[in-house]
Each structure stands twice: as structure tokens, then as C-alpha cells.
Amino acid sequence: GHVAAPTRVRTPGPRRCDVLLVGASTGGPPALRAFLMGLGPDWKIPVLIVQHMPATFTAILAEHLDKALPQTVVEAKDGTPLRGGHVYIAPGDFHMTLKGTPGAPVIKLDQGPQVNWCRPAVDPLFRSGAELYGKNIVGVVLTGMGHDGRDGARALVDVNATVMVQDEASSVVWGMPGAVAEAGLAEFIKPIDGLSQTCKAIARGERL
């Protein structure tokens, strides 16, 4: 399909990644695993993940990823302060957002109405990240059905944050990443390894 060019030209200046936000749905667990593995053992920036799944499955996903990765992977709990070297997965049936201040961010869980027929949904997470961190945040949308993440990506783009999506060829379903790309909100469209490498380059302060 037609992919729009990014709608805005970024404000120049170095990129920063204080927190990494990731959304995924259909085909997500293996994609998440590959993406997180690609960040490597030195990745210490907190990662927050919304994977569309029912409650018991998100706990199992966290367990599996924790075994596979050098980082500590947990199912998020309400009121938890963010810690470096940790990956937080939204528990099934709860939206996960960021509250507090950029210096002392805290995870909030809520059972507000479904968003895009989903709970957890990617949009509330991305929106809260944009509000708290402005441009110093990175949002990644991996394989998935529907368009959850598109409106959240728009909130990130509006504050000059970095948004990247998985490419069509490597996605099981190019619904979610495709919706972001087609809305002109994806600055980078890459296979999973390329996404991991781009995140690492941003974390190292490289110009992209």
C-alpha cells in the first residue's frame, strides 16, 4: 500500500531515549523477544510493553522473556517506580500509563474503558509517555492487527519524539505498524533487527 512520508519535520537536536515504549498484537511475542534480544545486554533504559493478551498470558509472557533476556522482565504493578534494566509488561485487562515526573516516573494501571476494543491498549501508554517525557522518548510498534498505537504515535510525533515501526515484510500482520506508517507518523520503518539497532544508536547519542 501507499506509505505517507512523515507528516512533520523533526526539530533538530540530539535524540534521547529516557524510556522505550513498545506496542504489539498478533505475532507479537516472538517479535518482542527478537526486538528485546537485539537491544543486547548493555541496554539499561526502562522498557514498557503493551502486548494485546488476556491476563494469565501476560504473566507467562513476562516469565518467558525474563528467562531469555539479560534484563529483568516483570508484569507491571500499579504504583511501581521505573527502574533501569527492567522491562515492564502491561497485565492483561489493564491499561498501563506513566505518571509522576521525568525524574521519578511511576507506572499506573487502570481498568478504564477499552481503547480500540483493547485493554491493555497501546494508545494510552504512548500518550502518557508523550505528556511526561516530550521528545525524549521512543515509541515502537510491532506486528499486530488493527490500528491501536496510531493515535498514540500522533501524540509522540506532536512532541517531536521518535516513532518507528516494523516493516511489512517481517510483520505477521501489518495492521498496527501499517496504520502508523500510512498516517505518516513513522520516522523509521525497518525489520526487527533494524529497529533494535536504531534504538541502540539513539541511546548512544548517535545522529541518525
Is residue 128 part of the annotated active site? The answer reads no
* Set 18, 25, 123, 196: catalytic member: 25
Cell 498501563, residue located: 96
Is residue 147 part of the annotated active site? The answer reads no
* Set 18, 128, 147, 148: catalytic member: 148
Let me know if 77 is exposed, middle or buried by CB neighbors in 10 A (0-12, 13-18, 19+).
Answer: exposed
Show the CA angle centred on residue 171, arms to residues 168 and 173, nearest 5°.
95
Let me know if 80 is exposed, middle or buried by CB neighbors in 10 A (0-12, 13-18, 19+).
Answer: middle
> What is the phi/psi pair of residue 193, to 5°?
-60, -40
Q: Are 7 and 157 in contact (CB under 8 A)?
A: yes
* Set 18, 52, 123, 196: catalytic member: 52
| Integer Cα distance of 32 and 174 in angstroms | 15
Show the CA angle centred on residue 195, arms to residues 43 and 14, nearest 5°.
70
Is residue 25 part of the annotated active site? The answer reads yes
3-state secondary structure of 151: helix
Q: Which residues are catalytic?
A: 25, 52, 148
